[in-house]
Structure 1
Amino acid sequence: MSRPPVVAIEATNLTDDRSTGIGRYTRQLIEALSALDLPPQDDFELLQLCKRSRWQRRDRLAQGQRLSSRMWWGPVWPLPRPSCAVLHVPDERQPPWRVPTVATVHDLYAALNINHADETKRRRKLRHYEHLRDTCTRLVCVSENTRQDFLRLVGGDPARLKVVHLGVSPEFRPQTPDEIQAVRARHGLDGPYLLFIGSTPNKNLVRTLEAFAAGGFGRDFTLLVCGERSQAQGDELAMRLARLGLTSRVRFAGFVSNADLPVLYAGAAAYLFPSLYEGYGLPILEAMACGTPVLTSDRGSCPEAAAGHAVIADPEDISALASGIASAVGMPQDRRAAALAYARTRTWEATARGTLAVWREALAEG
């Protein structure tokens, strides 16, 4: 029997123990691919490429299954052209090799320049996407909204842009009271709380704070804000909280571990995600999978991710956000159950199978 095709995955982001976003995507995709039980004619071997001083054999992630039976870690820059049929780049970085390539496009945030901060960066990012368009065999877009953004801003052959939605990891589930209480104690939470996660401007923290104050939610809830911030950002937020009278009602948790994250979701009265732009909005699904009602926005891919199971509000309207928070906190039990059931349908297995289909297209064309 001939050896199955080799697909190399550029996985330098897995070397960071605090990786978020792209790193989580890469790890979950590889683990889901390794768990697939494929017939021999559909099998692939995976070659992981990352920054290490030497090549190292890695044990298969799922014993007894063919896919990923040869997993390797190795240095990426510089490397000779890898011996592979297809290269998958999970974060839009263009490799230096001429090989059939699939790249994942997570969002066009910088190209859209949502905050009108850096026109030079926006132009540079557009040129980068144009290069991806011209050199990649296929592009995986994590949402239809991102695909449409790419076609509108960058152009290209629509048939080469494939939508493969992200999945929700099994650890995002309703938690036991004991699990919730342990994490609440670790974060100094002794009463009901609302949860906000994020530190980039598009996450819309300032308006969230203003809506929290306008709705008087500080009387009944603490707002737990997670995400790393600079000292200057922290000082600015402290002054804003003082002006809003929220100093004692908002708690900053900094970076939250992967172990604590599902429990914080599950223990929250609502998850607040009024983003100005998302390429997909996976936290919406993660919170719903934990049984927690979600407030999100009508921008970017947020409505696509929510699929009718979250409260939607204009993220620039403080009054609408305050009303949305109240609606999320008071979401009826049947709607919460429907959101939980929907989130459980969004699996990484489906993401892996969708990605395999794109690889097959690239392999056939390459």
Structure 2
Amino acid sequence: MMPRSGPPIVGIDFRPALFSCTGIGRYTHELVRAIDCLGRDDVKMMLYGDAWRKVAQNDRITQLLSARKGVLRRRRIPGRLAPVLSYLGMGVERRLGGIDLFHLTDLALLPVRRAVTVVTVHDLAFEIDSAFHGRAFRRDVPGRLRAAVARAARVIVPSHETARQLRLRYSVVEDRIHVVPHGCDHMRDRTREASADELERLLARHGVERPYALCVGTIEPRKNHDVLLDAFRLFARRNSHTLVLVGGFGWMCDGLRDRLAHGRERGRVRHMENLDDRFLPPLYREAQWSIYPSLYEGFGLPVLESMACGTPAITTRRGALEEVGGDAVRYVDPEDPEEMAKAMAELSDDAELRAEMSEAGAERAGGFGWARAAQSHLEVYRAVASEIDAS
């Protein structure tokens, strides 16, 4: 094959960034933004955005891309038509107008027929415990992901824990796996966040009184909100804190939805379901402490975000969370509400401990940057493009 005349053209599944500011959406948005900000001329991005759902936060997306680096292809079509369009020769490669490789960023895997692929595997939680997801997910996703990983030229993961699980469960050889931790720069950019007055109005609207604690994450079984509420009820017997939950309702959460509406904790627990992205950094900074009691994580971005804001964090040692938190956070057993409540009380009562954890967390978070992550992704793209040229 003759070498290309210009930089490699990389297609990226940008759909997660169009519809969510958390998790995979956050990763996809910040990755593309960071690649764009690097200003490099050795790669061109073509962003795939076809889906039926309406785009969330249009201004954020509009401001993201410069004409220099990225082009977004977006039309409203049902996602279930993607396999049919691919079969008819009108899939990802045709839609993006010719690409050298395609980066699959989401678990909703697009069918790619000819282009070489790179895939990001965020975690294998559904392989760790089948109770974390519903029956339809367990039926459809694992097989598709296993096939996508087998086909991919490279696999990108956010942690050594996810890399270990890939080797163990999918038999992926080590030299195909690239560990690229997420960044947290988005929490330190004051130009992208709500003002102090806007935050006060938000807290008043939701009835949040200080001091408050913060838990950020989609409400789903793996995030362990039920045990968190059990622990907070024990803690609240002797403390006046409000617990603020930020995150939408996910799957298998009807019981928790009912508990938040009618349970004994409802007077002291406030839920912000569709929080504007601009409020998250100041909401973290004003919290006395945060808690992320997850049963398993392939990374654990909320813990990193809390540290970046200087807010002491309580979390667990499950999955990759210790890779993120290091010695800068307080660890608890996610299945022991009494231990969790004790940690809440210790942080609430000890201002000196909070100050120490705030400083240690901010220092540790400084080692996680989206520019570094973007550079690592570019290195993967270039390596794959070189292999294509040599084939």
Match of 1:293 among 278, 300, 312: 312
Match of 2:259 among 230, 233, 236: 236
What's the offset of the Cα at 1:191?
Answer: 2.2
What's the offset of the Cα at 1:265?
Answer: 0.9
1:66-85 map, 5 Å: 68=69, 70-75=70-75, 77=82, 78=85, 79-80=90-91, 81=93, 82-85=97-100
Aligned residues: 350
What's the offset of the Cα at 1:148?
Answer: 0.9
Pairing 1:170–2:172 present: no
Change (3 A) 1:117 1:22: closer
Could you list the per-position Cα deviations for residues 178-201 of structure 1 after superposition, in whole angstroms to 9, with x for gaps in the alignment?
Answer: 565344224322321111223011
What's the offset of the Cα at 1:270?
Answer: 0.8
Distance 1:284 1:116 in 2: 20
Name the amino acid aligned to 1:14: A
Q: Which moved more, 1:160-169 or 1:229-238?
A: 229-238
Aligned counterpart, 1:86: 101
Distance 2:170 2:320 in 1: 18
Q: Secondary structure at the match of 2:294?
A: coil
Aligned counterpart, 2:360: 338
Name the amino acid aligned to 1:89: L
Could you list the per-position Cα deviations for residues 139-197 of structure 1 after superposition, in whole angstroms to 9, with x for gaps in the alignment?
Answer: 10111111111211221211101111111133447998656534422432232111122
Distance 1:12 1:112 in 2: 26
Q: Secondary structure at the match of 1:8?
A: strand
8 Å contact from structure 2 (residues 260, 266) kept in 1: no
Aligned counterpart, 1:48: 47
Q: Secondary structure at the match of 1:342?
A: helix
Name the amino acid aligned to 2:127: A
What's the offset of the Cα at 1:121?
Answer: 4.5
Aligned counterpart, 1:282: 301
Change (3 A) 1:127 1:283: same
Q: Secondary structure at the match of 2:213?
A: strand
Distance 2:316 2:227 in 1: 12
8 Å contact from structure 1 (residues 7, 85) kept in 2: yes
Distance 2:6 2:132 in 1: 51
Distance 1:134 1:142 in 2: 18
8 Å contact from structure 2 (residues 226, 256) kept in 1: no
Aligned counterpart, 1:28: 30
1:99-178 map, 5 Å: 99-113=115-129, 115=131, 121-122=137-138, 124-172=140-188
TM-score, normalised on structure 2? 0.81
User: Relative to total residues, which structure has the larger helix share, 1 or 2?
Assistant: 2
Match of 1:304 among 318, 323, 333: 323
Distance 1:297 1:60 in 2: 34
Name the amino acid aligned to 2:9: V
Where in structure 2 are there 5+ consecutive unaligned residues? Answer: 53-61
Q: Secondary structure at the match of 2:28?
A: helix
What's the offset of the Cα at 1:94?
Answer: 4.2
Aligned counterpart, 1:364: 386
8 Å contact from structure 1 (residues 179, 263) kept in 2: no
Q: Which moved more, 1:265-274 or 1:114-123?
A: 114-123
What's the offset of the Cα at 1:231?
Answer: 6.7
Aligned counterpart, 2:290: 271
Aligned counterpart, 2:59: none
Q: Which moved more, 1:136-145 or 1:175-184?
A: 175-184
8 Å contact from structure 2 (residues 33, 64) kept in 1: no
Change (3 A) 1:193 1:10: same
Change (3 A) 1:305 1:217: farther
Distance 1:59 1:181 in 2: 27
Name the amino acid aligned to 2:35: L
Distance 1:287 1:324 in 2: 16
TM-score, normalised on structure 1? 0.86
